[in-house]
Amino acid sequence: MLYNSLSRKTEEFIPLNPQHVGLYVCGPTVYGDPHLGHARPAITFDILFRYLKHKGYQVRYVRNITDVGHLENDADEGEDKITKKARLEQLEPMEVAQYYTNRYHDAMDSMNVLRPSIEPHASGHIIEQIAMTQQIIDNGYAYISNGSVYFDVEKYNKDFPYGILSGRKLDDLMANTRTLDGQSDKRGPFDFALWKKAQKEHIMRWPSPWSDGFPGWHMECSAMSAKYLGEQFDIHGGGMDLLFPHHECEIAQRCASSGHRAAKYWVHNNMITIEGQKMGKSLGNFITLEQMFSGNHPKLTQGYSPMTIRFFILQAHYRSTLDFSNEALQASEKGFTRLMNGIAALQRVKPTDKTTIDISALDKKVAEAMDNDLNTPVVISTLFEWIKTFHLLEEGKESITAEDLTSLQKSVAVIVENILGLKNQKQNESHKELLDGVIGMILTERQHAKERKDWATSDAIRDRLKELGIAVKDSREGATWEFSN
């Protein structure tokens, strides 16, 4: 088995079931606005999801929503991130989780990130998490301490290698860590919580055999991947920042409960930096996606469209770090426009009676790049090489038959829209303008009907629009419209 590296060539990727692929990706903790750091894993695994489907696999893509148990310091101490936000804003914790889940969905939809097949919430899987914790206790790899349950890393390490994913060794880790101060409920410094007893003020709590409390953060992914993808599944993904300890703990939990590892391959995307620095609230370079789109942040000289951000992320390989700067984003904005113009030129090509170019070369090169560890930068540079050809074809300096032109146009559409998930937003914007104009015209007709007191026509127009999912609102200033749900 390969760890810490997906077989980087797809021909070496052998799914457990020939037709179906199970993919689990650690999703967001929903306590704040989605930011650049959320965009990269979402887009990386969107590409993997799209490409596996393109290759003909049925993919069950599970990406969780963390709405409980993620404590402030990422370990077992501090306040729950969502509870804290709820306390500060005087909201119900689930209100906070829902609000930021919606914000996350909106931002991802705008970047054309496909929604996963299943999006389970940690708080909706407490029973499964309690059951897996009990199994680990029964197998002797966890202990109960003051109502909390901890994973016994030292005991586990005697039977299974702890650190297999990150390449760390428990002995080395121990040597570099100060011993526990005696206040802790844990026996060893690397032991982690499977279940935490809730303090009096802790709102989100559930009954368990050990205490009223809540699951440890690492447990949700183990329990939910087991529930929806089974004892073993193909690919587990997430950001590189989750590799240790989160993913290491997930492996330990699944081995300790079932006796073997769950995920066959692991894929990690690298981090995003801003002008060479890590992004952080304290560094003043923390940029939410909404700020990115609007340009409303001191670090930004302008706003960038969701497609520019997507294109920018795809221009780097997912395992390389990616540095955001205005210059780099402006270059991506130009590049994306050049790509869209090239595709438009291909639509204008007039076919002739012979073909002077090798049209199969495009698909071949793209497949090679994607099969080689999802090399999207090579796919994009290949498209740019072809854009030159599209312009030559448009100018009549190269020629192509009608049949070849159709298949070339189809190839380009599949690569750009299906595999890379890029779409021409200008086109969408012009559709929106068109729709605005057409509905405006209808509403003017309705206004005329009202003026001549032809209520039957005015109501009929309103009702027909309603059937089409368009709600008309009448006010003193005239009628406006919006999409009804």
Residues that bind Zn ion (CB under 5 A): 26, 221
Q: Can you spell out the DSSP letters for 348-367? A: TPPPBS---S-THHHHHHHH
- At closest approach, how far in Å is the CB of 256 from Zn ion? 16
Q: Sheet holding 20-25: strands in order across?
A: 58-63, 20-25, 233-239, 263-269
Closer to Zn ion by Cβ: residue 242 or 380: 242
Cis peptide bond prior to 245, omega within 30° of 0: yes
Residues 55-65 as b/e (b if ≥16 CB within 10 A, e otherwise) read eebebbbbbbb
Cα–Cα distance list, 263 to 63, 205, 221 (Å): 14, 30, 11
Q: Give the CA radius of gyration of the chain.
A: 27
Q: How far is CA 322 from CA 227, 271, 274, 376, 377, in A?
A: 34, 7, 8, 14, 12
- Residue 352 sits at φ, ψ, to 5 deg, of -125, -165
Nearer to Zn ion, 132 or 465 (CB): 132
Q: Which is nearer to Zn ion, 221 or 412 (CB)?
A: 221
In the bound state with Zn ion, the residue whose beta carbon lies nearer, of 100 and 266, is 266
Cβ distance to Zn ion smaller for residue 26 or 39: 26
- Name the minimum Å distance from CB 218 to Zn ion: 7
Provide DSSP, 46-65.
Answer: HHHHHHHHHTT-EEEEEE-B
Distance (Å, rounded) from C-alpha 287 to C-alpha 300?
9
Nearer to Zn ion, 25 or 108 (CB): 25
Shortest Å distance, C-beta 190 to Zn ion? 18
To Zn ion, the closest distance from the beta carbon of 17 in angstroms equals 23
Question: Do residues 142 and 134 make contact, with C-beta atoms less than 8 angstroms apart?
Answer: no
86-111 burial, b at 16+ Cβ within 10 Å, e below that, comes to beeeeeebbebbbbbbebbeebbebb
CB of 40 to Zn ion, least distance (A): 16
Contact status, residue 285 vs residue 299, Cβ threshold 8 Å:
yes
Minimum distance from residue 266 beta carbon to Zn ion (Å): 12
Shortest Cβ distance from residue 35 to Zn ion (Å)? 18
242 versus 362: smaller Cβ distance to Zn ion:
242
Short-list 338, 328, 336, CA closest to 308: 336
Structure tokens at 419: 């595999």
Nearer to Zn ion, 59 or 242 (CB): 242
The CB-of-1 to Zn ion minimum distance in angstroms stands at: 19
Nearest distance from C-beta of residue 247 to Zn ion, angstroms: 7
Compute the distance between CA of residue 332 and CA of residue 304 in angstroms, rounded to an integer: 10
Considering the complex, state which of residue 26 and residue 107 has its C-beta at the smaller distance from Zn ion.
Answer: 26
How far is the C-alpha of 52 from the C-alpha of 20, rounded, in Å?
Answer: 10
Burial 300-321 (b: 16+ CB within 10 A, else e): beeebbbbbbbbbbbbbbbbee
Q: What are phi and psi of 73, to 5 degrees?
A: -95, 20
400/406 Cα distance (integer angstroms): 10
Minimum separation from the CB atom of position 382 to Zn ion (A) = 34
> Shortest Cβ distance from residue 320 to Zn ion (Å)?
23
* Cβ closest to Zn ion, residue 188 vs residue 239: 239
Nearer to Zn ion, 229 or 479 (CB): 229
